[in-house]
Chain A
Amino acid sequence: AQKVTQAQTEISVVEKEDVTLDCVYETRDTTYYLFWYKQPPSGELVFLIRRNSFDEQNEISGRYSWNFQKSTSSFNFTITASQVVDSAVYFCALSEGFGNEKLTFGTGTRLTIIP
């Protein structure tokens, strides 16, 4: 069975600080996909990134970066120079291999950026 753990329930940082959100996953499949979604106070789910299990290359998109390490089953998300608009709940999610690829979400990390 697949499982996603986000141990950090809430994080608060002062604006312009860097912050890392942790995600640890469990799966028996060798082919799987990892995702991060952002849920701002308005409630919608905003897709941020998808990573497949064969691509461990880290990715950077502006102030966002992701560190995928299969050896530790982790897919961590770092925001550099945080801004107030980054305040949201962030969900890590996993889908396994081929088929209908339902998403299994973690419990989310509520990030608050203090101005």
Chain B
Amino acid sequence: EPEVTQTPSHQVTQMGQEVILRCVPISNHLYFYWYRQILGQKVEFLVSFYNNEISEKSEIFDDQFSVERPDGSNFTLKIRSTKLEDSAMYFCASRHRDSQETQYFGPGTRLLVL
């Protein structure tokens, strides 16, 4: 069964460093999302992406964040200058075109900023 994959599974970085989190959505899906989950808290929407542009972003998704679909398969989230409070699990999700379709989540990348 097709699934969303994410790399790396864990990343440790120093405050102020740039990180890139990578996702490979399910191949025939057209909508892509990033969510984050701070330890012990709920899952929060960051950004949605469709047709090579951002469709919607949350207040969390400030100028330090960017997303890109550099080729036909990868979908990346970049954090330009990480802060301690960026430490969280980051989930990628993808969805087929119909609004009735479910978002399928990747296994997540656990980011720790020191």
**A contacts, CB < 8 Å to B:** 33, 35, 37, 43-45, 47, 50, 52, 91, 93, 95, 97-108
Smallest beta-carbon distance A47→chain B, Å? 6
Q: Can you name 5 A-B pairs with beta carbons within 8 Å? A: A44-B108, A45-B43, A47-B102, A103-B45, A105-B43
Q: Assess the A100–B107 pair: CB atoms within 8 A.
A: no
Among the 9-residue stretches B18-26, B48-56, B77-85, the one with 4 or more Cβ atoms under 8 Å from chain A is B48-56
CA distance A16 to B99 in the complex (A): 37
Task: Determine the chain A residues whose CB is within 8 A of the CB of B33 once the complex forms.
Answer: 102-103
Q: Which of B44, B89, B102, B108 contacts A35 (CB 8 A)?
A: B102
Q: Assess the B108–A43 pair: CB atoms within 8 A.
A: yes
Task: Determine the chain A residues whose CB is within 8 A of the CB of B35 once the complex forms.
Answer: 103
Smallest beta-carbon distance B17→chain A, Å? 23
Q: Which of A43, A50, A91 contacts B110 (CB 8 A)?
A: A43
Q: Assess the A100–B48 pair: CB atoms within 8 A.
A: yes
- Nearest CB in chain A to that of B32: its residue: A100
Q: With A45-B43, A47-B102, A107-B42 given, is the CB distance from A102 to B48 under 8 Å?
A: yes
Smallest beta-carbon distance A10→chain B, Å? 12
Task: Determine the chain A residues whose CB is within 8 A of the CB of B91 once the complex forms.
Answer: 45
Q: Which of A37, A43, A101, A108 contacts B99 (CB 8 A)?
A: A101
Smallest beta-carbon distance B19→chain A, Å? 18
Q: Which of A45, A52, A102, A108 contacts B45 (CB 8 A)?
A: A102
